[in-house]
Structure 1
Amino acid sequence: MTPRYLFFGLVFVVCGCSKGFLNVNSNPNAPSSGAPSLIFTNAEAFTATIINGNGGSGFGDFFNLNYPMSYEALSSNYQVAYNITRNNYTSTDFAGVWTDIYHNLNDYLQVGEGASGEPFLAAGAKVMEALDYQMLVDGYGDIPYSQALQLPQGVTNPSYDNAQAVYNACLGKLDSAIAIFESDSVTANGSYNPGNADIIFQGSPASWVQLANTLKLRLLLHEVTVSSQASTIQAEAAKIAADPNGCLGAGQTAFVNPGYAKDAASHLNPLWSTMGYSITGALANADQSANSYFMAKLASYNDPRVGFFYLCDPSTGQPSGNPFGIPTNASATYVGSGPQVNASTNSIVYPYNVSTSLATWGILQGATQKSILVSSWESLFLQAEAIERGLLPGGDAAAEAAYQSAITDHFTYLSVYTNGTVSAAPSTFAAAYYGQALANVGWTSSPDKIQAIITQKYISLCFTNAEEAWTDFRRTGFPGDLPLSTDPAALYPRVLRFIYPQSEYDSNKDNVEKEGTVSPVSPKIFWMP
């Protein structure tokens, strides 16, 4: 078996082969090549980087959505980024979302086209393509789809497809992938299995079906209020309910780990290198502070997770934050928890004097921690919402169970211990938390179950999937008290979508201009109210 550290090196060799070709409008100076399994490995790792860090293009991927979602704020010790505080994003902001995802899609296209006789890889590529296109639609609306990535066929200026049509195409991709994964061609003995070349599920067809169903449920709930999709939503939800594999359940997070290592900056876990520390141990996030709204939100729910999201002042054991907008607190602490050890006593400073045998906790658990592709708690919150809306069976009791299981799984991931010892499991503290008679915390105390689900999901997605939290807010309005920017010169109240990147206006002008005038607030994504 290939050692993990060596295997990780192979991943980056393949990545180097495919860069430059992957842009939807780029010329193929160096086409993707290599065994489909190696390209697949690289593509899986790069998808995780897009979601968890700043992608291959550096500044501009989903990470900056943590600001308008009030997960983080700007530090007063640095030049204020007015495009962020004023919601004045342009065609150069978030450009990495577009370029990196289309780069990633091209790799999955190469896998699908090259995986003759390898149905597992072809099906996995379909699932990941659906994820990528979903993220693009949720940010941009209409996008190139049917003509995308066809430069070898002479398509240099791809037309834009209707966003809802792309969603339906993604549902079709997921159905097709599920059919392959559940067929004898994949599950029969002797058929090709990528094993450890699949750095998400190590070649488990059942796990891939669960991920596909979870992504399908995500798509359905995003568009749940779109009346023209009602019959499609009901039919697809029925397929999920009838599938014995179901969705990702408790403890079944889709993690990605290509073999993150401390030997090079490019080998660090992307979340760690974005909001934690560099290869030399230098602080990577000095311009990012804790957010005062999020801290207050947690405090109002007696939520013990605040110190698991933010660094804390050792003298007080608590973080200190800034609002979204113009920073006002020069003493604000940094985003990102992590094992803070007192050098003289060799004990963890926060959250309490817990045993040093507790190796990892909080959002930042180490430079080699796994990346989250889709978390089990998100899946469980999706299931709770679908049950509550009548799309999945089980009624109120099943919705409550999924809701509480989601909270428990997040406490478990963060290793939330609140009493200074590790004598009880995080599930014990989770039960005490959701057992409170507080609206949007305790199930029976929450008159609006959807609001409770989305509120707790919002808390759990802090720093691990800001785009999904942003999408939930845009489609439901929860959390209802999410603050506006404090910058008096804010151009728009909120960012509701991305502007197409300047590269499209430069190289695909005729097609992108058919989309009309695009701003951070218009036109809305098709599923928005």
Structure 2
Amino acid sequence: MKLFKKIALAMIVLSMAACADLDELLINPNGVDPTRADAVSLYNSVQLNFRNVANSGAVWGFAGGLARQRAEIGGFTYEATHGPTEFSGLWDDVYADLFPDIDAYIAIAEPLGLRTEVASAKIMKAYSLMLLVDLFGGVPLSQAGQGQDGVTNPGDDTGPEVYAAAVALLDEAITQLTGASNMTSGVFDNFYGGNAANWARAAKTFKLRAAVTTRLVNGAGGVETVNSIFAENDFISSNNRNFEFKYGTNRNVPNNRHPFYNDSYEADDGVYQSNWYMWLLAESKGFEDPRTRFYFYRQETDILSAIDDDPDAFDCIFTRVPQEDFLPEHYAAVSPDMPYCLGSYSKGYFGRDHLNGSGIPPDGQIRTVYGLYPGGGKFDNGIRDGDVQNNGVDGGLGAGIAPIWQASFSHFILAEAILTMGATGDARARLQSGMELSHARVRSFRSLIDEGEVLATVPTTVTVANTIPADSTVTNYVNFVLAEYDAATSDEERLGIVAREYLIALWGNPIEGYNLYRRTCLPAAIQPGIDPNSGPFIRSALYPAVHINLNQNATQKTSFTEPVFWDTNPASCNY
């Protein structure tokens, strides 16, 4: 009996010890314990996680395709192209990585008086919250991240509530940055090098963004915000204040190159570019946009010869190969100038038409791929073409940027606010500034390439520098668009010109293009689906499967035609 009691006692002690060990193991080794966190490393983690959210590949594939910035090829209908699994990674990036890291960093840094660092973290969180609403509508916020308090199934806050919370964070950041010194904690600030004034401008700019994005529902309050920020003139208005994440050139350990470069300049075929978007730049005005060969690189400049060499490398749906004199009836009904199967016949930009979900032919070596801007790829000099699947040795080696917010964007949305909200200012002047700033930022990528490289010696020596469009081409471009604007007879026509030029300047930023399209129903005459019965346009993304399957309080939308709160346009809008 005594022996039995001793054995029982020993088992109890061992069980208690095991429980204690189990409790220790319940601490997530990947989570951030504020008592042990290194503030500098944690801030680096915040920036990298924010980059993953703000420059998400899933957002580019979804919003970029819907805005016609990149080819939409997952199916022949919108419903077949997108589903609830594509954003599970983004959801984890936000709720498992970014927001916990931001909250933990603020808890550490705020007591230390690191005002600029804390404010910058709040700005990144605010932008991310608005991005989530722009994609999905209502999302978890007030109950999110409270697992330690027993809230394991957070409910959704409404879109207006989340937007209001984001603006409140921006206001907090602006207050903290008033009179604050530059960052002093030794952190590496990829965006502004620790400059407090630039972070303050970013916060005010994102308030401007929020006011214009929600202009269909926010009434006079939005106009007051726009006018106040514009009058203060303390927003991102010049390229030296752009809010950009800068990528590096490391191929391995870590690979810190731009995702566009990783896509097109390794061993795999790059994604398809949008034929309509390439045509918009290369041909729609009757002359080539000076940014075209910065945006895109043609592996094959003579597509017509490529058709003769291998007609099986094309899948045009209505014809076997591209035919310049053929246009599907439903394309012609939108515009007689609509491109079909090629982004440009005379210049040879080859991608895919909207919602061409057919199989993949052997066309990897002739596809037009991402160029020098913003992904750090190759500049298209128009003389030498060639394959780029060369294991990362071409062009700018991936040293691109994520153009989260450029100065040009500010001027374009100000033009929109003037034309649609009655905001103070000259919309034409804002349009001009937007175009000039966009061209200047794109052309600054010349620093990533060797302009002295000799391309030809017969009959004369030609270098890369000789193939870069002259400054005069930018002047001519701007004057052409301004003449169009002056000839317009209504604000609706003027807004269409602003929207078109804004969409072009947004290359590499999909969410703003998708928002623009839903907010304005412009630009007009965009390419429809290759199938005349492609179904209704996607007004918001379905909630990620990881959220629906693991959260008992989460409910999936009945349809992706459900708009977000600020999109009040009718279903008949020009989608």
TM range (shorter): 0.7 to 0.9
Q: Give 1:497 shift.
A: 0.8
Q: Which moved more, 1:120-129 or 1:290-299?
A: 290-299
Kindly name which structure, 1 or 2, has the bigger radius of gyration based on alpha carbons: 2
2:71 counterpart residue number: 73
Q: 1:87-98 to 2 correspondence within 5 Å?
A: 87-98=80-91
Q: Give 1:294 shift.
A: 1.6
Q: Give 1:313 shift.
A: 4.3
1:18 counterpart residue number: none
Match of 1:177 among 173, 178, 193: 173
State the identity as a percent.
19
Match of 2:505 among 460, 480, 491: 460
Q: 1:143 to 1:386 in 2, by over 3 A?
A: same
User: How far apart are the structure 2 equivalents of 1:425 and 1:35?
Assistant: 48
The CA RMSD measured in Å over matched residues stands at: 3.4
Residues 143 and 163, structure 1, Cα contact 8 Å, conserved in 2: yes
Does residue 1:232 correspond to 2:257, yes or no? no
2:288 counterpart residue number: 303
- Which AA in structure 2 matches 1:506? N
Q: Any stretches of 5+ residues in structure 1 without a counterpart?
A: 1-25, 55-59, 75-79, 340-346, 355-362
User: How far apart are the structure 2 equivalents of 1:373 and 1:364?
Assistant: 23
Does residue 1:335 correspond to 2:369, yes or no? yes
Q: Secondary structure at the match of 2:202?
A: helix
User: How far apart are the structure 2 equivalents of 1:350 and 1:527?
Assistant: 41
User: How far apart are the structure 1 equivalents of 2:253 and 2:479?
Assistant: 45
Match of 2:212 among 217, 221, 228: 221
1:144 counterpart residue number: 140
User: How far apart are the structure 1 equivalents of 2:176 and 2:487?
Assistant: 43
Q: 1:238-387 to 2 correspondence within 5 Å?
A: 238-257=227-246, 259-264=248-253, 266-273=255-262, 275-277=263-265, 281-283=266-268, 285-286=269-270, 288-298=271-281, 299-301=283-285, 302-304=287-289, 305-316=291-302, 318-326=348-356, 331=363, 333-338=367-372, 350-351=381-382, 365-387=396-418
Q: 1:289 to 1:480 in 2, by over 3 A?
A: same
Match of 2:40 among 33, 37, 40: 37
User: How far apart are the structure 2 equivalents of 1:370 and 1:194?
Assistant: 25
User: How far apart are the structure 1 equivalents of 2:41 and 2:514?
Assistant: 33
Q: 1:325 to 1:401 in 2, by over 3 A?
A: closer
1:428 counterpart residue number: 472
- Which AA in structure 2 matches 1:175? D
Q: Give 1:192 shift.
A: 5.2
User: How far apart are the structure 1 equivalents of 2:62 and 2:369?
Assistant: 13
Q: Which moved more, 1:387-396 or 1:291-300?
A: 387-396
Q: 1:528 to 1:422 in 2, by over 3 A?
A: farther
User: How far apart are the structure 2 equivalents of 1:443 and 1:427?
Assistant: 22
- Which AA in structure 2 matches 1:333? R
1:3 counterpart residue number: none
User: How far apart are the structure 2 equivalents of 1:178 and 1:72?
Assistant: 35
Q: 1:83 to 1:264 in 2, by over 3 A?
A: farther
1:507 counterpart residue number: 550
Q: 1:40 to 1:383 in 2, by over 3 A?
A: farther
Q: Secondary structure at the match of 2:215?
A: coil
2:337 counterpart residue number: none
Q: 1:524 to 1:318 in 2, by over 3 A?
A: same
User: How far apart are the structure 2 equivalents of 1:527 and 1:27?
Assistant: 43
User: How far apart are the structure 1 equivalents of 2:567 and 2:411?
Assistant: 22
TM-score normalised over the length of structure 2? 0.71
- Which AA in structure 1 matches 2:536? P
Q: Give 1:225 shift.
A: 1.4
Q: 1:82 to 1:151 in 2, by over 3 A?
A: same
Q: 1:393 to 1:61 in 2, by over 3 A?
A: closer
Q: Give 1:520 shift.
A: 1.6
Q: Give 1:241 shift.
A: 2.8
Q: Secondary structure at the match of 1:512?
A: coil
Q: Secondary structure at the match of 2:273?
A: strand
Q: Any stretches of 5+ residues in structure 2 without a counterpart?
A: 1-25, 303-346, 386-393, 452-462, 570-575
Q: 1:471-510 to 2 correspondence within 5 Å?
A: 471-487=515-531, 490=534, 492-509=535-552
User: How far apart are the structure 1 equivalents of 2:51 and 2:549?
Assistant: 29
User: How far apart are the structure 1 equivalents of 2:39 and 2:434?
Assistant: 39
Residues 353 and 421, structure 1, Cα contact 8 Å, conserved in 2: no
Q: 1:31 to 1:122 in 2, by over 3 A?
A: same
Q: Give 1:282 shift.
A: 1.7
Q: Which moved more, 1:255-264 or 1:500-509?
A: 255-264
TM-score normalised over the length of structure 1? 0.77
Q: Give 1:466 shift.
A: 1.0
User: How far apart are the structure 2 equivalents of 1:259 and 1:88?
Assistant: 32
Q: 1:114 to 1:428 in 2, by over 3 A?
A: farther
- Which AA in structure 2 matches 1:303? E
Instruction: Give CA-to-partner distance per residue, 1:104-132, whole Å, 9 cap, x none.
Output: 22221122121122111111111111100
Q: Secondary structure at the match of 1:202?
A: coil
User: How far apart are the structure 1 equivalents of 2:356 and 2:468?
Assistant: 41
Residues 45 and 257, structure 1, Cα contact 8 Å, conserved in 2: no
Q: 1:373-452 to 2 correspondence within 5 Å?
A: 373-389=404-420, 393-396=424-427, 398-413=429-444, 415=446, 421=465, 427-436=471-480, 442-447=484-489, 448-452=493-497
Does residue 1:112 correspond to 2:106, yes or no? yes
- Which AA in structure 2 matches 1:155? V
Q: Which moved more, 1:237-246 or 1:292-301?
A: 237-246
